[in-house]
A = this chain, B = another copy of it.
Amino acid sequence: MAIFDMLPVKFSPFTSSILNTSTVVAITVFVTLLCACIVIGHLLEENRWANESITALLLGLVSGGVVLLVSGGKSSRILVFNEELFFIYLLPPIIFNAGFQVKKKQFFKNFSTILLFGIIGTIISFCLISLGAFLLFKRLGLTSLGIKDYLAVHIEHMKIVFAAAIGAIFSATDSVCTLQKDTLLPTINSGSSFFHVKVLNQEETPFLYSVVFGEGVVNDATSIVLFNAVQSLDFSDIDVFTALKLLGTFLYLFCTSTALGIAVGLLSAFGIKTLCFGRHSTDREVAIMMLMAYLSYMVAELLSLSGILTVFFCGIVMSHYTWHNVTESSRVTTKHSFATLSFIAETFIFLYVGMDALDIDQWKESNASAGTSLAVSSTLFALVLIGRAAFVYPLANISNCIKRRDGDKIELRKQFIIWWAGLMRGAVTIALSYNQFSSSGTSSSTVYSLLITSTIIVVLFSTVVCGSVTKPLINAVMLRNAKPTTSDAADFASLDDLRLFFLENGGSNDASGNQEAPRSSGFRLLMRYPTYTVHQLWRRFDDRFMRPVFGGRGFVPVVPGSPTGAADDQTS
C-alpha cells in the first residue's frame, strides 16, 4: 500500500522509535496470551481437571514452541527470564493479596501447626533432599559432566554445595503454587452479592488451606537461613553452638520480618484514620494502601529480611484495621483490585514458566542425553516426594499427640492432602534455580545447565500432573469418608460453657476493672482450650487498646445495610 510506504516506519520518533520494538512485541504477545488465558480459564471453569495455571503453562509452552519454529530454532525466549521482574513486581502482589484475603481466625488457630511444618519440616526436607542429591551426584559421577579441572577435594566440596543448594531450592514450598490450587483457594466470586465465596469445597478445607499456604510463607524465612548456612558454614565441623546460632538467626529473621509487616500495616491504619483521606479523594486511600504494602516488601528486602513474611503480615494487619478505616467504595476497590493484580501476576508467572521451558540455549548447553536428564529430574522429584512425606506424617502425628481434642487432630486423609498439596514446584523454584546455577563460573556450565533443565522438567511435571489431579483427588478422598469436617462453628460448638464464663466475667467490649478474675481463670482455660483462650484474650486486647487507636470494624461509622457486614465476616 502506498500509504504504508510513505510512513517512515523506521523513524517515527514521537512515541514509536522511543520504544524498543522487541520490548513492544514481547509485551504485546504476553498481554494477548494473558487475555487468552483468562478467556480459556473462564470457559474451563466447570472443568474439574483444568485450571488457570495449567492453561497458562500449556499456552506458554505452545507459544514458546511457535516462536521457536518461527525463529528457526534459535531462541524461544521473547522475554528473558528475569529474577528481578519476578521478585520485585510479580511476587509481592500475590503474597500481599494472600495475607489480605486469608481467613485470619483459621490461620492463627493453626499457627502452631504452621510453624512446626514451616520450620522443622523444612529442615527435615532440606536434609533429606540434600543427602539424596549428594548421593545422586556421586552415582552420576559429577566429573563426567564437566568439572574436570578441579582438584578432587574441590569436587567433593562442590558436590556438597550443589547438593545443599538443591536441597534448599526444592525444600522450599512454592507459596504461589499453593495459592493456585483451585480447590484450596477461597476464590472470591461476586455476582450480585458482594463477597460470596464459592461453595465448591474450599469452604470445607480452610484448615488445609491455612496449613499448606502458611507453611509456604513461614518457610521463606527458614530457607534464607538455610541458604546462608550452606554458603557460610563448614559442614565438616558442625556443633551444637552453630545450630543454636542458626536458630537465633532464624528467630531474628522471623520476628523482625513479622514486626516490620505489622508496623507498616498499623502505620497505614493510623495514618488513614487520622488524616481522613476519604474526605477528599478515594484514589488517595487506595493509592496509599497499595504503596504502603509495597513499601513494606521493599524495606524488608533492603534490610535483608524475608520480604514474603513481611508483606504477608502487612496484608493481614491491613485487612484487619486499615480496610475498615476507608470509604465504602475504597473497600470494594481494594478488595477486588488487589485480587485482580494478584490474579494477573499469577497467570503471568505460569505463562512465563511455560514459555521459558523451551529455553533452547540451556537444553543445548546441558549436553546431556535424554536419559541422564530424565534420570536426574525423576530422582529430584522422587526426593521431593520423600522429603515431604518424611516430615508431614511424623509432624502431623506429633501435633496430634499434643492436641487433646478430637476436632483438632489431623486425620490420615488430611495428612495425605497436606503432603500432596505441597508437592507442586513452580516459578519460585525456577527463579531460584536460575539465580543459583546461571550466574556462576563457566567451567562447570554443563552441570549448571543440566540442573536448570532438570528443574524445569520437575516444575512442568509437578504443575501439570499434580495440578490437574489434585482437584479430583481431594474430592475423592474427602467424599469417600465424608465425616463432618472441622469448621469454625463445629469447633467451638461444645464450648458454650466457656462463652458463658467469659460473658459472666465481662468478656464483652465494655469490660472494665474486673480484669484480675478472668486472667487467673484464663490461665486454667489456656491449658484446657489454648487456641480459644488466646483468641479471646486477643479480642479483648484488640477491642480495648488497638481498635480505638487504629480503627477497625466497629470503630468507624458503618453505613447500615452496606454489604461490608458480609465481607467482614469473611476477613476477620
Size of the A side of the interface (Cβ < 8 Å), in residues, is 99
The complex places the Cα of A52 from the Cα of B18 at a distance, in Å, of 28
Residue A70 interfacial (CB < 8 Å)? no
Whether the Cβ atoms of A190 and B224 lie closer than 8 Å is no
- List the B side residues contacting A32 at CB < 8 Å: 295
Q: Can you tell how many copies of this chain the complex includes?
A: 2
Neighbour of A327 across the interface among B192, B298, B340, B435, CB < 8 A: B192
A11 touches B435 (CB 8 A): no
A24 on interface, CB distance cutoff 8 Å: yes
The answer for the CA separation of A436 and B225 in the assembled complex, in Å, is: 49
Check if B281 sits within 8 Å of A187, measured CB to CB: yes
Listed stretches A302-310, A410-418, A479-487; interface member: A302-310
- Alpha-carbon distance A13/B188, docked complex (angstroms): 34
Q: Does A559 contact B (CB under 8 A)?
A: yes
List CB contacts (< 8 Å) of A517-542 with chain B: none
Cβ of A432 < 8 Å from any Cβ of B?
A: yes
Contact of A336 with B286 in the complex, beta carbons under 8 Å: yes
Are A287 and B343 in contact, with the CB atoms below 8 A? yes
A283 at the interface (CB under 8 A from B): yes
A359 to chain B minimum Cβ distance, whole angstroms, is: 18
Mask: chain A, 202-226; 1 = CB below 8 Å from B; 0 = not: 0000000000000000001001100
Which candidate, A34-42, A111-119, A372-380, A461-469, is the interface stretch facing chain B?
A34-42
Given contact pairs A14-B220, A19-B301, A192-B559, A283 touches B34 in the complex (Cβ within 8 A): no
Q: Which of B24, B252, B280 contacts A298 (CB 8 A)?
A: B24
Query: Does A106 lie at the interface of the complex (its beta carbon under 8 Å from any beta carbon of B)?
Result: no
Beta-carbon nearest neighbor of A336 in chain B: B333
- Residue in chain B with minimal CB distance to A435: B18
Complex Cα spacing A87 to B20, Å:
11
Name the contact of A291 in the complex, choosing from B38, B168, B232, B330 (C-beta under 8 A). B38
For window 222-246 of A, CB contacts with B under 8 Å fall at 223-224, 227-228, 231-232, 245
B189 touches A336 (CB 8 A): no
* B23, B190, B228, B327: the one within 8 Å of A84 (CB): B23
